[in-house]
């Protein structure tokens, strides 16, 4: 009694990739075990001891090495056997016989073909001496055909066999049949009457042996008649086909009285004839029935044959003579065919399959009556010669049929193929030594591991006998590749029954390795047959004690990165990548070895990788035999592999995710406690603050730019899951994202955390003009806002170019009245309205001498500062204060104004304060009598040397100017000073010097002197 064990654990073996259906069959008394099944490319194991592996599918067999063997059946009905299939009745050999009917335009139906065998086309040593084991099939190799062995002689290696062919297609040279042979135990299966169907009246091969005599001793293969030879007829003579009968010394072969319906109006009579002399003795009869009835043939002395038949019914008139052309040849075999068509009342003659002549006959012919039928003799003389293959058919055969019959009889209709072995005599099969090798996983002992008589190997076989055997061998190794260098040990030979077994003691005695050194096994089967039986393996099973304990150590030290080449993630940290990467330190299993690791990833803190995969996708390792939902056979998992991710996958949440690992061994035993890693996931981008504040105008200093953003209230940035971590900015669309560390890589930890931010020239650069500052938000999971907010930074460190098109109106004037106008610069930054202009006259513009205007025109005014030629300069300054004093434009203009008259009545007054010693003088004068173009100022000159302005002007220095008629000169010392005055107009056109006036600062007391002692009177006299 056997039973299927309950399933307790499941383990998937990734290195197995062939189909093996495993059945665990335990004899009564064994403890419950486990079962390993290989199907769909992967094995399944239910890990308890004892364990067994059964190979039974066509897929698993096909993955092995087949030598002269083949796999048949499908699925669990697969089997291995010697290549080929035994022919009919287990015959071992066959030949293909192909017909050449290309010259005939008629389909030949139920056509008898002569198969002629000789040493040139057949090996007589592989067949019984009498040919009893010969069989014929149609082209399908299975439909048996009727055949008739005319003669078969293994000694002379000559045989003639007639085979009935259902149809040979017209104009074909490919139609074929098969001849099978080679089985010493067979008896004959020939069926002559099946060859010569009801269309034939008689078929006499005339192949009787020499000395044949007696009633009915001559055989008609149709079974319709029998022949009794007269004395003197010689059998066993050399014939055209085998042996023949010589009629020259006898009186023919009597068939008795024959008539309708055996004999018919439509008829084809054919025979081979070899005459000694067609002229002697006179006329001769090849056969006779009734020359006034059904018909009789007479060989005339002119080598022609007369075919007599008529309406009398007997050997009497009326009858007709229907003669051939010359046909007989002395000493040569000639194939004679005569055809009578009762419908068209025509007859035809053929010699050696070729048409000779034809004619018509009376519609009253023939009158068929029962009359004695004789072969080889008749109403004149016996045939002086031999006859072979005498046949009468009930049909008027066509010329194509007659031609094909001749070709067949002369062995030119068939081509004989080479000999094929229907089934190999020896062959072998070996299970794979690659990734599909039989993986025992862990074998601690054959059979049940302890009982010597327990079954260790079992094979379901068929067709085994002493002459058809299967020898089983085995070898084991620690890896598939090492199987090739191991030595096969013979388990035993299957010679009978349907089950071959070997015990634990049997396999132990072979000394083959087990445990780690015997993880992989290879079975080798050698097939041999000599009787046509094909020994077959239907399945085989290895029984052994497997691994039923979990791995000794689980995975440890689980770590996480945002991606394979990303940042390390700490326990309970946030991550945003949909493609995280986990790695761990591997576990260990000393028995079956580690298959890999069962994984769980999900939000359930109690999730168990031994029973659930959580959010994980398709397992890369087969789960068959295991309760795990996801198994990987590496110490890391990279979720860039799309199939590893389930649907749904990681979604933003404030809840934690748990990644858990349990090691699983190759026997599908799983670690008890999971190793885990906890993290949080947020891949939802934060929202930016509602806007940025930045300077609106142009600035020339980078560090003058301050960018601020709201950090509280509705306008602040927002993130619903991992919360806001910070901000980054980028200047220009092709710039780099920065935070306070200014790494420029956009790295998540390089952020701004407080508002505002002031640009820093050490890191930030601006292009002249408008600069776009992009600003984005980053959350704790390093998600970046989907968009960015922007601010425009207006920067100008470059001065405008010079103004354009400066003009003066008029160019020359007799009065100091000139107007100026110009156009804006052609190059400037910022707004045109922000430009101002510095102008000077007769001095290059500098930071200290500019007069500024925001207009591009100056109304007429006294701009000349000197008589004659003057120069007006103008330079532009932008709104950022950028100005290049050297980039000016200028225009010349001339003031031809008359000089004023001489100041009159120059006088000097002492205005010193004596008490404080503040020495000063006041100079006063009267306006000139002629003021010229107008007086705008008076220049006052002074000298400390007694001299006159008019005579020694070089001794005088300009000490000041005034528009009035007085000038106060202070800060003096008590000495003489000399003064003169010049009157000047707005063009600085000045008069001649005035008269020279002098003064000494002495001052006066403005209050009485202090009495510091009382007066005294002394020496008063009178």
Q: How far is CA 968 from each of CA 671, 746, 907, 920, 1005, rounded to the nearest angstrom?
A: 113, 74, 12, 7, 20
Does the structure show a pLDDT above 80 at 385?
yes
* Helix, strand, coil % in the chain, rounded to nearest 5: 5, 40, 55
Question: Is 70 exceeded by the pLDDT of residue 827?
Answer: yes
Q: Say which CATH topology domain 48-83+426-544 has.
A: Jelly Rolls (2.60.120)
Report the DSSP pairing between strands 636-638 and 698-699: unpaired
DSSP 166: E
Q: Are 592 and 667 in contact (CB under 8 A)?
A: yes
Closest CA to 22 of 543, 629, 631, 667: 543
CA pair distance 680, 660, nearest whole angstrom: 14
> How much is the pTM?
0.51
The domain defined by 904-999 folds into Immunoglobulin-like (2.60.40)
Q: What's the confidence (pLDDT) of residue 790?
A: 95
Q: Which of 457-466, 548-557, 695-704 has the highest mean pLDDT?
A: 457-466
Residue 498 has pLDDT above 90, yes or no: yes
Class of domain 216-392: mainly beta
In sequence order, what are the residues at sequence separation of 6 or more whose Cβ sits closer than 8 angstroms to the Cβ of residue 497? 461, 464
Dihedral sign for Cα 381, 384, 390, 394, please.
negative
Q: Predicted confidence band at 1022 (pLDDT cuts at 50, 70, 90)?
A: low
Does 424 have pLDDT greater than 50? yes
Q: What band does 1009 get if pLDDT is binned at 50, 70 and 90?
A: low
Q: Which fold has domain 804-895?
A: Immunoglobulin-like (2.60.40)
* Residue given tokens 């067999």 in the structure block: 61
CATH 2.60.40.10 for the 557-681 domain, yes or no:
yes
7: pLDDT strictly greater than 60 = no
Output the pLDDT for position 3. Answer: 29
Tokens (6 digits) for 343: 């419908």
Strands of 621-715, DSSP E: 631-632, 636-638, 656-665, 675-681, 698-699, 706-707
Q: Cβ(631)–Cβ(555) under 8 Å?
A: no
Please give the mean pLDDT across all residues of the chain: 91
Tell me the mean pLDDT in the region 595-607. 96
Distances (CA, A) of 49 to 472, 502, 589: 25, 19, 17
Tell me what the mean pLDDT of segment 996-1009 comes to. Answer: 85
Q: Report how far apart the first and last C-alpha atoms of the chain are (Å, whole number).
A: 187
pLDDT at residue 243 greater than cutoff 80: yes
- Per-residue pLDDT for 850 more than 70? yes
> CB burial class (10 A; 0-12, 13-18, 19+) of residue 596?
buried
H or E element that contains 524: strand 520-529
State mean pLDDT over 922-946.
91
Q: Residue 139: pLDDT above 60?
A: yes
The DSSP bridge partners found for residue 147 are 163
Three-class secondary structure assignment of 90-143: HCCEEEEEEECCCCCCCCEEEEEEEEEEECCCCCHHHCCCCCCCCEEECCCCCC
Which pLDDT band, with edges at 50, 70 and 90, does 699 fall under?
confident
What pLDDT was estimated at residue 1021?
Answer: 67
The domains spanning 48-83+426-544 and 698-795 adopt the same CATH topology: no
Q: What's the average model confidence in pLDDT over 368-387?
A: 98
- Tokens 């009598």, residue? 929
Could you state, in order of their start, the residue ranges of all structural domains in the chain? 48-83+426-544, 86-199+395-422, 216-392, 557-681, 698-795, 804-895, 904-999
* Average pLDDT of span 1010-1014: 76
Q: For position 898, what pLDDT does the model report?
A: 87
pLDDT reported for residue 5 = 31
pLDDT tens for each residue of 223-242: 999 999 999 999 999 999 99
Which of 82, 79, 155, 132 has its CA nearest to residue 530? 82
User: Residue 963: is its pLDDT beyond 60?
Assistant: yes
By residue count, the chain amounts to 1022
CATH topology of domain 698-795: Immunoglobulin-like (2.60.40)
User: Of residues 522 and 770, which shows the higher confidence score?
Assistant: 522
């Amino acid at each position: 009694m056997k039973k299927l064990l309950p399933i307790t654990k499941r383990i998937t073996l990734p290195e197995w990739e062939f189909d093996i259906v495993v059945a665990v069959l335990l004899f009564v008394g064994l403890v419950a075990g486990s079962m390993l099944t290989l199907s769909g490319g992967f094995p399944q194991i239910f890990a308890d001891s004892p364990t067994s592996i059964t190979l039974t599918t066509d897929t698993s067999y096909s993955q092995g090495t087949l030598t002269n063997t083949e796999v048949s059946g499908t699925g669990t009905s697969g089997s291995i056997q010697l290549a080929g299939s035994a022919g009919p009745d287990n015959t071992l050999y066959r030949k293909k016989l192909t017909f050449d009917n290309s010259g005939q335009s008629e389909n030949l139906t139920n056509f008898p073909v002569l198969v002629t065998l000789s040493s040139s086309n057949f090996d007589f040593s592989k067949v019984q001496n009498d040919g009893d084991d010969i069989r014929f099939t149609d082209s399908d190799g299975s439909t048996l055909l009727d055949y008739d062995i005319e003669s078969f002689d293994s000694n002379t290696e000559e045989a003639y066999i007639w085979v009935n062919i259902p149809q040979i297609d017209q104009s074909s040279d490919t139609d074929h049949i098969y001849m099978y042979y080679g089985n010493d135990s067979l008896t004959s299966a020939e069926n002559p009457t099946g060859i010569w169907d009801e269309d034939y009246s008689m078929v006499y091969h005339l192949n009787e042996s020499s000395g044949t005599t007696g009633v009915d001793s001559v055989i008609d293969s149709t079974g319709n008649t029998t022949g009794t030879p007269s004395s003197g007829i010689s059998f066993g003579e050399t014939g055209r086909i085998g042996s023949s009968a010589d009629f020259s010394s006898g009186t023919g072969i009597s068939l008795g009285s024959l008539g309708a319906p055996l004999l018919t109006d439509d008829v084809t009579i054919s025979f081979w004839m070899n005459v000694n002399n067609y002229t002697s003795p006179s006329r001769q009869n090849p056969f006779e029935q009734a020359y006034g009835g059904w018909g009789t043939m007479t060989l005339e002395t002119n080598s022609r044959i007369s075919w007599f038949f008529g309406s009398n019914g007997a050997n009497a008139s009326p009858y007709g003579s229907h003669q051939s052309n010359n046909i007989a040849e002395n000493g040569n075999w000639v194939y004679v065919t005569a055809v009578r068509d009762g419908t068209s009342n025509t007859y035809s003659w053929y010699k050696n399959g070729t048409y000779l002549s034809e004619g018509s006959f009376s519609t009253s012919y023939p009158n068929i009556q029962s009359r004695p039928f004789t072969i080889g003799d008749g109403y004149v003389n016996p045939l002086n010669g031999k006859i072979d293959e005498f046949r009468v058919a009930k049909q008027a055969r066509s010329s194509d049929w007659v031609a094909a019959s001749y070709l067949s009889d002369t062995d030119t209709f068939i081509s004989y193929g080479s000999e094929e072995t229907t089934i190999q005599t020896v062959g072998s099969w070996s299970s794979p030594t690659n990734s599909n090798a039989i993986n025992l996983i862990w074998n601690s002992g054959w059979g049940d591991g302890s009982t010597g008589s327990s079954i260790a190997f079992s094979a379901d076989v068929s067709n085994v006998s002493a002459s058809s055997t299967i020898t089983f061998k085995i070898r084991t190794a620690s890896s598939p590749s090492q199987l090739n260098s191991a030595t096969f040990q013979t388990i035993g030979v299957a010679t009978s029954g349907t089950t071959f077994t070997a015990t634990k003691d049997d396999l132990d005695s072979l000394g083959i390795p087990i445990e780690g050194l015997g993880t992989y096994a290879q079975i080798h089967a050698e097939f041999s047959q000599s009787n046509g039986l094909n020994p077959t393996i239907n399945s085989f099973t290895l029984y052994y004690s497997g691994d039923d304990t979990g791995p000794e150590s689980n995975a440890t030290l689980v770590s996480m990165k945002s991606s394979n080449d990303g940042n390390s993630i700490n326990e309970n940290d946030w991550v945003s990548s949909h493609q995280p990467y986990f790695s761990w330190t591997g576990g260990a299993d000393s028995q079956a070895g580690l298959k890999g690791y069962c994984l769980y990833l999900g939000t359930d803190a109690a999730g168990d990788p031994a029973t659930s995969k959580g959010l994980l996708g398709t397992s890369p390792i087969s789960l068959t035999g295991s309760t795990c939902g996801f198994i990987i056979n590496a110490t890391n998992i990279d979720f860039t592999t799309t199939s590893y991710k389930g649907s749904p996958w990681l979604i933003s949440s404030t809840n934690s995710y748990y990644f858990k690992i349990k090691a699983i061994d190759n026997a599908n035993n799983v670690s008890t406690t999971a190793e885990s890693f906890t993290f949080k996931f947020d891949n939802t981008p934060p929202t930016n603050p509602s806007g940025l504040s930045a300077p609106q105008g142009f600035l020339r200093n980078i560090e003058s730019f301050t960018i601020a953003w709201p950090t509280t209230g509705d306008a602040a940035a927002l993130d619903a899951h991992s919360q806001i971590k910070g901000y980054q900015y980028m200047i220009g669309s092709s710039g780099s994202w920065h935070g306070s560390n200014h790494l420029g890589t956009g790295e998540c930890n390089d952020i701004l955390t407080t508002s505002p931010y002031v640009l820093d020239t050490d890191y930030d650069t601006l292009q002249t003009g408008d600069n776009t500052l992009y600003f984005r938000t980053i959350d704790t999971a390093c998600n970046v806002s989907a968009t960015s907010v922007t601010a425009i930074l207006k920067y100008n460190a470059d001065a405008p170019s010079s103004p354009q098109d400066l003009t003066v109106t008029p160019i020359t004037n007799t009065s100091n009245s000139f107007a100026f106008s110009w156009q804006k610069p052609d190059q400037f930054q910022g707004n045109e309205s922000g430009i101002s202009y510095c102008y000077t006259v007769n001095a290059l513009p500098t930071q200290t001498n500019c007069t500024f205007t925001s207009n591009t025109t100056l109304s007429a005014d006294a701009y000349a500062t000197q008589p004659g030629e003057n120069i007006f300069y103008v330079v532009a300054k932008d709104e950022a204060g950028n100005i290049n004093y050297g980039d000016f434009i200028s225009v010349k203009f001339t003031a031809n104004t008359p000089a004023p008259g001489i100041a009159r009545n120059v006088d000097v007054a002492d205005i010193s304060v004596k008490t404080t010693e503040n020495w000063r003088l006041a100079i006063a004068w009267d306006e000139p009598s002629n003021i010229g173009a107008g007086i705008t100022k008076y220049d006052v000159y002074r000298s400390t040397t007694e001299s006159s302005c008019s005579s020694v002007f070089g001794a005088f220095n300009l000490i000041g100017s005034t528009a009035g008629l007085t000038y106060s000169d202070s800060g003096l010392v008590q000495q003489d000073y000399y003064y003169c005055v010049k009157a000047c107009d707005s063009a600085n056109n000045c008069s001649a010097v005035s008269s020279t006036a002098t003064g000494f600062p002495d001052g006066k007391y403005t209050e009485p002197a202090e009495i510091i002692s009382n007066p005294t009177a002394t020496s008063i006299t009178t």
